[in-house]
Chains A and B, each alone.
Chain A
Amino acid sequence: MKRVCLVLSLLAVLLPLAAIGQNEPETAAPAELTVYCYDSFASEWGAGPSIAQKFEEMYGVKVILDAPGDAVTVMTKAIMEKNDPKGDVIIGLDNNLLSRALSEDILLPYEPASLSGVDGDLVFDKTYHLIPFDWGYFALCYDTELLSDPPASLKDLTDPRFKESIVLMDPRTSTPGMGFLLWTISAFGEEGWKDYWKALAPNILTISDSWSTGYGLFTSGEAPLVLSYSTSPAYHVEWEETTRYQALMFDEGNYLQIEGMGILKGTGQEDLARKFIDFMLTEESQNTLAMSNIMFPAVGSTPLPPSFDYALKTDKGLMLKDDLIESNSERWIQEWVETVSR
């Protein structure tokens, strides 16, 4: 027992020591720019740190990447703080979050000059509160070692040969999951989408809570088909040198995801925030985004590595109007749960 007390008192001495070195003192503070972003952007392996570092070198400021979770959590944080904003720039709000961001009035409009290099179809916010920085399609990816005759369309996906072969994500907890639900609604319309899901149900192996878990099941060989992005194979080619995993473009078209960034209302550094937005659209940053975020860069002229030959594009990009999503998503999700939980 004496040992317990000894260790406890030792702990009491050591704990404060553990705190030392946690807060490195700052010398003559340069201007700070706080960028709210989703976790994988700020991640050590993501695009954020290297873009931030180059921005710091160029303007002699300090950039803080604050990543409280996924894109939705980032927006939650911004909304909760909107009376007393602590961030300057927000990164990662996509086309499906636009109407919420606008109605909550958390952004300042800004139209960067470099937007001229971005395809007009990608500029999803004509009020310029959210500026696109990269984009991609949701797509089913398949494992060439497990599947020789992949589906060619959403309709084909319901074929009995894919029994218990697909991993999807739950639209209640995951952005790609929501994207796929919207995809089926835009492809089959209000009258058809529920019947489609009924036909699809026997082929679904499981519906995961997040893209990460679902994609993990897929790369573990658990299922030959997974919901992901049309750009996902580029990752495997670029970093793992394998073409085992391929994306599928469907006859009905693929649903679009465009990721946007904006300036948070109430920032004390609007000028610097604008510079950061501009910087995100430079060729160098756009290239970093493609390589680390594994999405198509918004600026069309950005040179891409050969691995992006495996990132597919389609003429049929599907996208529902954001006000339609805003007014119906609650009902759609309820109906979806009723349909698939039968």
Chain B
Amino acid sequence: MGGDGLPLTMKGSRLSGRLPGASLLLVLLLFYLPLAVILSRSLFSEGRLTGENLIFVFSRPLYGRLILFTLAQAFLSALVSLAAALPCAALFVHYDFPLKKLLLSSTTLSFILPPILVVLGFVIFWGNRGTTNNLLMSILNRDEPPLKVLYSFRAIILAHAFYNIPLALRFFYNQWAALPRSHYEAARLFGASRGQMFGRVIWPRIAPAAASSFLIIFLYCFMSFAIILVLGGGPRYSTLEVEIYRLIKFNLDFSRGSALALVETLFCLIAMLIYLKSDRGEEDLAAEELLAPAKLTGKVLPLFLAYLLLSALFFGGPMIALIGESFRYSPTKTGAARFSLHWYGRLFSPDSRTGAEMTFRAVRNSLYFALWTTAAATLTGTAAAFLVHRKRTVLPRLTELLLLLPMGISSLILALGYLFLSTRLNSGPFWDDLSVIMAHTFIALPFVYRSVGTALAQTDGSLRESALIQGAGELQTLYYIELPLLAKPLITGALFAFALSMGEINAVLILSSPERVTIPIAIYRLIGSYNYPGACAMGTLLILLSLGVFFIMNTMDRGNELQ
């Protein structure tokens, strides 16, 4: 906080600045109202207040085991993802190579794919009859698949790492790349070894990013269930979320389902409290000269290529398998599959129901929700980060907690909460769309907030203050000084918001009007009518479309780097 000892006018603006903080709490009410409506059902039974639903949850040994397993796998997944992302981040920070930008933009790609396609991609690539095993079987001349990767605890961690390493990489990169050159030079001057350099200079800088991404990954894996069930090999491994899903969705047992959801929320809350306690602001590092990434040279090149090949196999494998599947078609009953655009031809055929018209409608609807969500989440998240980190809100710690909590709420519960509300309001199509966008915005809000907040915590605002003192207006300062410093984390946040909305399905299905088919919904519908290759083609479309948008968003940052 650099506000003390400033001219009176500054203090005045700080006081009036409590108002936006209060309005932020009002915005958050839009999220907590539907949530409270649905969670409060756990405390009531036939109209009277009761604790019996919570007692039910805690008296079941099964639920105890579920909670333990849920925590353990989430912890391990987060740990593995972070450990794997760190060397990758080092590479991205220190070297320039072709496609770096594109690779960075594709880091959020795994979030847009519906779990069912990720599972299918994994199976096509790693499965018993998958690409790798077929290859190994023909090389080793064996009949049995030699590689048993799937249907084990290992597979769960592997799939979660697949989802989350890119996220950790993105967070690490943002922080690491912003480390000023002077710090490296100072360390070198004192003769620091590589290890010391990392421990004393780099790690303190990227620790907040590590904490942020650990929390996000932990919570994400905490909520995961389709992947755990299928790739883990059935109910031997299942999480709390499966039970919530079953109780609420299949048994319509809102009381017990909400009780479990409440317990889940409690665990998320604890995770966040631990995280917030460890999260302390860093010194001001902004606006200093950065380390210029080196070109890849002879010595590092083979190492780099090996690493690239390995990660391409790990990340690209399932995705490429998925894309490959969309180009396979056997035109005759017995003939082998060959390369064909057959499935794309069907998606873009003139048929008004299943062809191009439907496809374009799905694209338009997806973009409609995703762009609005991106705009809303980026604006709200950034505003929230400013308010909290510039201490312009009442109860900053609580506000921060309230901002992060949506991460620990599944979209199914949130969507049902809004449905509860909308059945009480006399709502129209406008509300239907709005509630979807609101639900998506709240799901994305923590990502934007963390991304921008982490960066903000490391600038104490002295630049801003000197600008203000020199007579720049508040808006001018924001536009010319503060926002440019935040370009990278802002874009990261926006990318996540876009990706999360693009891939979300529960809220759209439950809340929006029936004609609002999005790409993921079309994918599920294709699969529901046995058309898996068609779904892969639609998935490929989703990947390409998102990559396009990611690329545009990322080029926004370029102007900043040239300065």
B62 interfacial contact with A, CB 8 Å:
yes
B529 near A43: Cβ-Cβ < 8 Å: yes
A46 to B525, CA, bound (A): 9
A31 interfacial contact with B, CB 8 Å:
no
A100 interfacial contact with B, CB 8 Å:
yes
A221 interfacial contact with B, CB 8 Å:
yes
Choose among B119, B232, B557 the residue that contacts A4 (Cβ–Cβ < 8 A).
Answer: B557
Min C-beta distance of B561 to chain A, whole Å: 10
Choose among A170, A235, A292 the residue that contacts B235 (Cβ–Cβ < 8 A).
Answer: A170
B226 near A213: Cβ-Cβ < 8 Å: yes
A18 near B242: Cβ-Cβ < 8 Å: no
A170 near B229: Cβ-Cβ < 8 Å: yes
A127 interfacial contact with B, CB 8 Å:
no
Interface flags, A5-16, vs B, CB<8A=1, else 0: 101000110110
B234 near A207: Cβ-Cβ < 8 Å: yes
A39 near B524: Cβ-Cβ < 8 Å: yes
Which residues of the partner chain A approach B419 to less than 8 Å between Cβ atoms? Answer: 77, 80
Choose among A5, A216, A232, A294 the residue that contacts B527 (Cβ–Cβ < 8 A).
Answer: A216
Min C-beta distance of B494 to chain A, whole Å: 9
A3 near B558: Cβ-Cβ < 8 Å: yes
A212 interfacial contact with B, CB 8 Å:
yes
B236 interfacial contact with A, CB 8 Å:
yes
Residue among B358, B514, B555 with the highest chain A CB neighbour number at 10 A? B514
Stretch from A64-72, A152-160, A269-277 contacting the other chain: A64-72
A206 near B230: Cβ-Cβ < 8 Å: yes
Which residues of the partner chain A approach B557 to less than 8 Å between Cβ atoms? Answer: 4
The size of the chain B interface, using a CB distance under 8 A, is 79
Interface flags, A99-133, vs B, CB<8A=1, else 0: 01000000000000000000000000000000000
A320 to B529, CA, bound (A): 28
Which residues of the partner chain B approach A199 to less than 8 Å between Cβ atoms? Answer: none
A73 near B249: Cβ-Cβ < 8 Å: yes
Choose among B120, B229, B524, B553 the residue that contacts A209 (Cβ–Cβ < 8 A).
Answer: B229
A3 near B556: Cβ-Cβ < 8 Å: yes
The size of the chain A interface, using a CB distance under 8 A, is 79
Stretch from B90-98, B210-218, B391-399, B482-490 contacting the other chain: B482-490
Which residues of the partner chain B approach A76 to less than 8 Å between Cβ atoms? Answer: 249, 252, 416
Give the A-B pair count, Cβ closer than 8 A.
207
Which residues of the partner chain B approach A39 to less than 8 Å between Cβ atoms? Answer: 509, 521, 524-525, 528
B358 near A44: Cβ-Cβ < 8 Å: yes
Knowing A45-B529, A217-B123, A338-B62, the reply to whether A7 touches B560 (Cβ < 8 A) is no
B559 near A204: Cβ-Cβ < 8 Å: no
Min C-beta distance of B555 to chain A, whole Å: 8
Which residues of the partner chain A approach B119 to less than 8 Å between Cβ atoms? Answer: 213, 216
A40 to B333, CA, bound (A): 26
A341 near B235: Cβ-Cβ < 8 Å: yes
B235 near A337: Cβ-Cβ < 8 Å: yes
A331 to B128, CA, bound (A): 35
Knowing A15-B372, A241-B333, A334-B62, the reply to whether A66 touches B514 (Cβ < 8 A) is yes
Which residues of the partner chain A approach B338 to less than 8 Å between Cβ atoms? Answer: none
A68 near B509: Cβ-Cβ < 8 Å: yes
Please list the 9 inter-chain residue pairs (A to B) with the smallest Cβ-Cβ separation, ordered nearest first. Answer: A207-B234, A40-B528, A1-B484, A221-B129, A43-B525, A172-B246, A3-B559, A45-B529, A66-B514
Q: Please give the residue numbers on chain B whose beta carbons come within 8 Å of chain A beta carbons, in ascending order.
A: 62, 65, 116, 119-120, 123-124, 127-130, 150-151, 225-226, 229-236, 238, 242-243, 245-246, 249-252, 333, 353-354, 358, 364, 367-368, 371-372, 375, 416, 419-420, 423, 429, 433, 479, 483-484, 487, 490-491, 506, 509-510, 514, 517, 521-522, 524-532, 552-553, 555-560, 563
Given contacts A50-B353, A69-B510, A172-B243, 17 further A-B pairs with CB under 8 A are A1-B560, A4-B491, A15-B372, A44-B354, A44-B358, A67-B509, A80-B416, A173-B246, A207-B235, A208-B229, A209-B230, A213-B119, A219-B532, A220-B120, A222-B127, A223-B128, A338-B62
Q: List 10 A-B contacts (CB under 8 A).
A: A2-B559, A19-B368, A39-B509, A45-B354, A66-B514, A73-B510, A216-B527, A222-B129, A334-B62, A340-B234
